[in-house]
């Protein structure tokens, strides 16, 4: 089967074409093309995503991005077996661009339409390639908008275990980066600075790290960083690049410690042999290294799956990958974008 995946939940416009065999549990899915247009330069200029601006950019690029995906895959629309699109959650203006484009193409090209939840899509970046997770499996989704722990029992069968009560992990990275004067998106910048910093320099809080549930809270960490920056220790006069590097390292380790603790706890409680990570923050090397270290240290018989960095952040390929394991919707023209779409379970 050949599926075109369309992704427009936030500032990215993604279209990708993937080939796979949905009759196999692994899907044996590979990428034929994966095209992404980002308005990141605009976001860096304004310090974040301005929803209306993001949607305006997406209207301009959605058709060229889809055409480019077909061209790179050396395919015609008639070669496609289905079209997949993210219908939520996300920014309503951005979602509408992708959903309406997908509905129109489904009608014009006479192709089935598959509606994919963006959060589920992130996890399915792990199903691209040869070595894929098997069920049951714990999934940690860490992105700019979400921090969720999910137990995957099978394709389409998952149980939400917990999530953030306030800021998402990526949001916390971005907000702390802003406090450090770093441009958006701040996660990768904090991570780079942290490599040369001392993670023990500042004792930052690890909210909810010892709570027995699978919930998270990151807004207190951001507040602690804001307070620290205004204390004498880190006051402007002493706010050297060394202090900045140490703060970045201390922020990163505080976020990672909580994510690792709860993910390991979930894997132990549900006795799974597989953990998968997904979302933009999954490209954080410390998170992946620390998870790997903990699994080894505790002698857990657990395999860890993490997509390559290009498939961690938003893209069309993960949406097409998820679609291999879903049924098309009966009436494509009735599909509605849903900015608050939850993980159905
Ligand atoms: O999944 P994604 O592209 O978009 C959402 O669906 O939200 O995730 C974007 C988030 C941003 O908050 C960004 O700062 C964060 O992922 N991020 C990182 C890294 N790369 C991206 N955070 C920490 N370390 C990284 N290396
Ligand atoms: Zn995302």
User: In this model, does residue 236 exceed pLDDT 70?
Assistant: no
Alpha-carbon gap, residue 204 to 214, rounded angstroms: 20
Q: What is the pLDDT of residues 284-298, one digit of tens each?
A: 999 999 999 999 999
Q: What is the pLDDT of residues 8-46, one digit of tens each?
A: 999 899 999 999 999 998 999 999 999 999 877 777 777
Q: What is the pLDDT of residues 106-118, one digit of tens each?
A: 999 999 999 999 9
Ligand 1 neighbour 12 (Cβ under 6 A): no
Ligand (nearest to CA of 311) = 1
Ligand 1 neighbour 188 (Cβ under 6 A): yes
Residue labelled with tokens 């301005």 = 50
Ligand 1 neighbour 66 (Cβ under 6 A): no
Supply the Cα-derived Rg of the chain in whole angstroms: 20
Q: Which atom of ligand 1 is nearest to the CA of 170?
A: 12
Closest CA to 15 of 28, 29, 31, 1: 31
Ligand 1 neighbour 319 (Cβ under 6 A): no
Alpha-carbon gap, residue 164 to 201, rounded angstroms: 26
Closest CA to 217 of 225, 226, 206: 206
pLDDT score recorded for residue 231: 75
Ligand 1 neighbour 121 (Cβ under 6 A): no
Q: Which residues on neighbouring strands pair with residue 148, listed in sequence order?
A: 141, 163
Pair 222, 167: CB distance under 8 Å: yes
Q: What residues does the ion ligand 2 have nearby, CB within 5 Å?
A: 143, 314
Q: Which atom of ligand 1 is nearest to the CA of 146?
A: 7
Contacting residues for 276 by C-beta, under 8 A, at least 6 apart: 123, 126, 133, 137, 138, 139, 140, 152, 304, 305, 306
pLDDT score recorded for residue 238: 55
Ligand 2 centroid vs 324 CA: distance in angstroms?
Answer: 19
- Across the range 128-155, mean pLDDT stands at 96
User: In this model, does residue 241 exceed pLDDT 90?
Assistant: no
Ligand 2 centroid vs 60 CA: distance in angstroms?
Answer: 21
The CA–CA distances, whole Å, from 106 to 4, 5, 78 equal 11, 12, 11
DSSP 217: -
pTM of structure = 0.94
Alpha-carbon gap, residue 156 to 344, rounded angstroms: 9
Q: In what order do the strands lie in the sheet with 2-7?
A: 30-38, 12-19, 2-7, 82-88, 113-117
Quick one: CA dihedral 324, 330, 336, 338, positive or negative? negative
Alpha-carbon gap, residue 326 to 59, rounded angstroms: 27
Ligand 1 neighbour 86 (Cβ under 6 A): no
Ligand 1 neighbour 197 (Cβ under 6 A): no
User: In this model, does residue 240 exceed pLDDT 90?
Assistant: no
Ligand 1 neighbour 341 (Cβ under 6 A): no
* Choice between 238 and 148, residue whose per-residue pLDDT is larger: 148
pLDDT score recorded for residue 184: 85
Ligand 1 neighbour 187 (Cβ under 6 A): yes
Ligand 1 centroid vs 232 CA: distance in angstroms?
Answer: 31
Pair 155, 123: CB distance under 8 Å: no
Most confident of 50-54, 232-236, 336-340: 336-340
pLDDT score recorded for residue 232: 56
> Alpha helices, DSSP H only, in 48-164?
51-73, 92-108, 118-124
Q: Which atom of ligand 1 is nearest to the CA of 313?
A: 3
Ligand 1 neighbour 94 (Cβ under 6 A): no
* Choice between 246 and 345, residue whose per-residue pLDDT is larger: 246
Ligand 1 centroid vs 286 CA: distance in angstroms?
Answer: 14
pLDDT score recorded for residue 150: 97
Q: Which atom of ligand 1 is nearest to the CA of 285?
A: 26
Alpha-carbon gap, residue 183 to 161, rounded angstroms: 33
- Across the range 261-281, mean pLDDT stands at 97
């Amino acid at each position: 089967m050949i599926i075109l995946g369309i992704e427009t939940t936030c500032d990215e416009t993604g279209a990708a074409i993937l080939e796979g065999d949905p009759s196999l549990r692994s899907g044996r899915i590979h990428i034929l093309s994966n095209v992404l247009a980002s308005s990141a330069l605009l976001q860096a200029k304004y310090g974040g995503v301005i929803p209306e601006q993001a949607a305006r950019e997406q209207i301009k690029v959605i058709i060229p991005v889809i055409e480019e995906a077909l061209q790179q895959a050396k395919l015609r629309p008639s070669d496609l077996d289905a079209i997949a699109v993210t219908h939520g959650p996300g920014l309503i203006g951005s979602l509408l661009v992708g959903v309406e484009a997908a509905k129109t193409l489904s009608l014009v090209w006479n192709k089935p339409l598959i509606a994919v939840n963006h959060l589920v899509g992130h996890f399915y970046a792990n199903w691209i390639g040869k070595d894929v997770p098997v069920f049951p499996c714990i999934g940690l989704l860490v992105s700019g908008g979400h921090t969720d722990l999910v137990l995957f029992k099978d394709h389409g069968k998952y149980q939400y275990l917990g999530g953030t009560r306030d800021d998402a992990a990526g949001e916390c990275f971005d907000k702390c980066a802003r406090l450090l004067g770093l441009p958006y998106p701040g996660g990768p910048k904090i991570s780079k600075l942290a490599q040369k910093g001392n993670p023990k320099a500042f004792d930052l809080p690890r909210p909810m790290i010892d709570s027995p549930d699978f919930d998270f809270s990151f807004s207190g960490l951001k507040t602690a960083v804001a307070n620290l920056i205004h204390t004498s220790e880190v006051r402007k006069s002493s706010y050297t690049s060394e202090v900045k590097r140490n703060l970045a390292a201390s922020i990163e380790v505080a976020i990672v410690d909580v994510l690792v603790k709860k993910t390991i706890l979930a894997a132990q409680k549900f006795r799974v042999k597989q953990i998968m990570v997904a979302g933009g923050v999954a490209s954080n090397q410390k998170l992946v290294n620390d998870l790997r270290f903990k699994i080894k240290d505790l002698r857990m018989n657990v395999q860890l799956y993490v997509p390559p960095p290009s498939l961690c952040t938003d893209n069309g390929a993960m949406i097409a990958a998820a679609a291999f394991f879903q049924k098309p919707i009966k009436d494509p023209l009735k599909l509605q974008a849903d900015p608050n779409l939850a993980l159905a379970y």
